[in-house]
Amino acid sequence: MPYPSDNERDRPWVIRTYAGHSSAEKSNALYRRNLAKGQTGLSVAFDLPTQTGYDPDDELAKGEVGKVGVPVSHIGDMRTLFDGIPMAEANTSMTINAPAMWLLALYVAVADEHEAPRATLAGTTQNDIVKEYLSRGTYVFPPAPSMRLIADTIAWSVANIPKWNPINICSYHLQEAGATPAQELAFSLSTAIAVLDAVRDSGQVPAEKFGDVVGRISFFVNAGLRFVEEMCKLRALGRLWDEITLERYGVENPKHRRLRYGVQVNSLGLTEAQPENNVQRIVLEMLAVTLSRDARARAVQLPAWNEALGLPRPWDQQWALRMQQVLAYETDLLEYEDIFDGSRVVEAKVAELIEGARAEIDRVAEMGGAVAAVENGYMKGELVRSLAERRRRIESGEDVVVGVNRFDTTEPSPLQAEGAAAIETVDPATEAAAVEAVRDWRRQRDQAAVEEALAALRDTAKTDANLMDASIACAKAGVTTGEWAGALRAVFGEYRAPTGVSAAVASGEAATELGEVRARVQQTGEELGERLRMLVGKPGLDGHSNGAEQVAVRARDVGFEVVYQGIRLTPSEIVAAAVQEGVHVVGLSVLSGSHLEVVPAVVDGLRAAGADDVPVVVGGIIPEGDAKALRDKGVAAVFTPKDFKLTAMMDAIVTLVRQAHGL
């Protein structure tokens, strides 16, 4: 029944938009505008160099600065980012993983300058490194030291900034990488178990205070279009979390055991074809995480309708913000108790998901836990396999995507009438300005203080002591993001996660179509006197490898010998591998917007190496104007999300190889 008065309405969730681009100054202006429009929390998007621990002038940062978020290279950038924003009152989420400790240290250092008491700081650092190995790719260090950084951050935060969520366990990216609902629950909870075990085993938190640790663990989830199942998934997550924290960790206080999660609905499910359909997709997905009062999100951020086309404009983000506000303030949703209590349909689905998740959690536990299941490739292989099956259903038409594989006739869209002007673009001069700014910063700081702080950081990293205070000292001394990460790389080393490609089974469109392309690949190989070889590469810092992995799997299925070395390669490394392996085609995947810089560098490198007969094809979120520019620079073909039939893509690639060799 409805509550008797408005005073008993459930309070709205924290309303955010995920934002940041170009520079700290421009992002600060964007945040102020969004807060003035009624946004109640900030969600900071950092650019890829910041997320992977590089300064703007590093070779790997070329083409990536300010593209998918804001570059933050040192405390000066963080000062600018939060200029005029009351940090004691703000609720700030920061999407940052491998360098989460560092960005939190910068945030705390600037809050100290604001004289904001540390006990007032509220927000969240995305600090789940396991899902980075599985899906998102912005990991830096090997698993063991990465878990140490997480445990140190959590232990320090619980003691010093008790309103802060020092981690959110991210099932969001697992769903994007192909996880079924049961896998999503199991893998994220297995990660949470690994994190809690690491904190407990570090000895930094007294046993009687462990409930405070559990109470600050948050989750970051994804909501897809099967919104009834998604809502049931979150009810299941809440019950499993309560069960695990009570039985495994003995946490008696039910407030500590309550599931706390934020959400962004499914961005990779948005379509380039008929993008106006994304509006209703976003709204339906939002309902999955808000309808059930007992499993309602604590914070929500929505993508914009045109994110499949490029970077959204402020107006597009405003539209996404207004969707939340209409639901929270105009409807009667918040006036009721949980509207699904007593539903036998919901209870049956929740029970089914719990049963499947428990079985998968036990399977991971038998391997030694989430970290072991990363290192042996099990979880990654399962995700690649699941995503291949999902793609098969879309390609066959078994799963309908409106405007893509059914109902694809369309009228011209007035929303896209401006063409390239329908998305935000980052001025190419932004990167040059950031490079000069970081070099100027280094020239002006006290270098002796920097060296002393970095030495202390390295020395602390060689012990079991908590690294947070040493990181804050580095922040205040003017150390840069690349220097902090570089110091820890020197102690911890770097890591390359398993790709999972070898685990996937053949799948795709009808077997006859696959067989026809396989026959063309074999025939072409016979005419050339060798098996066709394809290099699949991800130049730059973009770690979203799901598409590249599926292309690699399908190329293997049609008979190509596939060279796939994973993520984060320089153009020169890709060229060297292509020449060494004698490949017949190079396929590049870029989702970060850096395609105009990194792709021509590969084309030019192949020409310089005498391999200009090797066609280069590109896939990613690439506006038509950019696609034309790439073709003008020698790229043989450009594929975007609308080209969802991978077997047809392989057929086109075989044709390009034949043309390149005059067959």
Q: Look at strands 164-165 and 167-170 and give their pairing.
A: unpaired
The correct answer on CATH 3.40.50.280 for the domain covering 512-661 is yes
> Does 346 score more than 70 pLDDT?
yes
pLDDT for position 1: 39
Alpha-helix residue ranges (DSSP H) falling in 493-621: 511-528, 546-557, 571-581, 595-608
φ, ψ of residue 229 to 5 degrees: the values are -65, -40
Catalytic residue flag (residue 544): yes
646 neighbors 506 (Cβ within 8 angstroms):
no
> Is there a catalytic annotation at residue 633?
no
- The catalytic position among 544, 584, 595, 645 is 544
221 three-class SS: strand
Distance CA 503, CA 387 (A): 12
Sign of CA dihedral 75, 77, 80, 86: negative
Q: Is the pLDDT of residue 634 over 90?
A: yes
**Number of helices (H) and strands (E), helices first, in the chain?**
26, 15
User: What are the C-alpha distances in Å from 552 to residues 174, 375, 500, 556?
Assistant: 19, 21, 11, 6
In the structure, what pLDDT confidence band is assigned to residue 125 with cuts at 50, 70 and 90? very high
Catalytic residue among 18, 31, 378, 564: 18
Between 566 and 116, residue with greater pLDDT: 116
Q: What DSSP string describes 46-98?
A: BPHHHHTT--TTSGGGTTTTTSSSB---SHHHHHHHTTTS-TTT-EEEEE--T
Q: Which amino acid is at 633?
A: K
What's the whole-number average pLDDT of the chain? 90
- Spatial CA neighbour of 289 closest among 328, 244, 242: 328
Domain 14-406: assigned CATH number:
3.20.20.240
Q: What is residue 504's predicted lDDT score, i.e. its pLDDT?
A: 56
SS3 content of the chain, % helix, strand, coil (to 5): 55, 10, 35
| Catalytically annotated residue among 538, 584, 595, 645 | 538
* pLDDT (average), residues 331-335: 94
Q: Active site residue: 173, 349, 380, 595, which one?
A: 173
pLDDT of residue 498: 67
Q: What pLDDT does 2 receive?
A: 44
Q: Are 190 and 179 in contact (CB under 8 A)?
A: no
pTM here?
A: 0.87
How many residues in the chain? 663
Share of the chain above pLDDT 90, in %: 67
173 is catalytic: yes
pLDDT tier at 137 (50, 70, 90 boundaries)? Answer: confident
Give me the catalytic one of 172, 249, 261, 564: 172
Rounded to a whole number of angstroms, the CA Rg of the chain reads: 24
C-alpha to C-alpha distance for 536 and 578, rounded to whole angstroms: 9
What pLDDT score was predicted for residue 420?
57
Which pLDDT does position 511 carry in this prediction? 62
Instruction: Tell me, letter by letter, the H, E, C secondary structure of 410-434.
Output: CCCCHHHCCHHHHCECCCCHHHHHH
Fold: same for 14-406 and 512-661? no
Q: What is the pLDDT of residues 5-58, one digit of tens each?
A: 445 788 888 888 888 888 999 999 989 998 999 888 888 999 999 999 999 999
Q: Exactly one of 58, 542, 557, 626 is catalytic; which is it?
A: 542
Task: Tell me the per-residue pLDDT of 581-618, one tens digit each, with 9 for 90 and over.
Answer: 999 999 999 887 788 888 999 999 999 999 989 999 99
pLDDT band at 260 (very low <50, low <70, confident <90, very high): very high
542 is catalytic: yes
Can 256 be counted among the known catalytic residues? no
Structure tokens at 333: 């949703």
Task: Give pLDDT tens digits for 407-436.
Answer: 988 888 888 776 656 777 777 888 999 999
DSSP annotation of 398 reads S
Q: How far apart are the first and last CA of the chain?
A: 74
**pLDDT at site 339:** 94
37-41, 231-235, 422-426, 512-516: lowest mean pLDDT where? Answer: 422-426
Where are the chain's structural domains?
14-406, 512-661
Helix axes 378-396, 181-202, angle to 10 degrees: 160
- Return left, alpha or beta for 271; rule: phi > 0 is left, psi -120 to 50 is alpha, else beta: beta
Looking at the predicted structure, is the pLDDT value of residue 68 above 80? yes
What pLDDT is attached to residue 5?
45
Residue 503, pLDDT above cutoff 60:
no
Highest mean pLDDT among 56-70, 302-316, 412-426, 456-470: 456-470
Is the pLDDT confidence value at 507 over 60? Answer: no
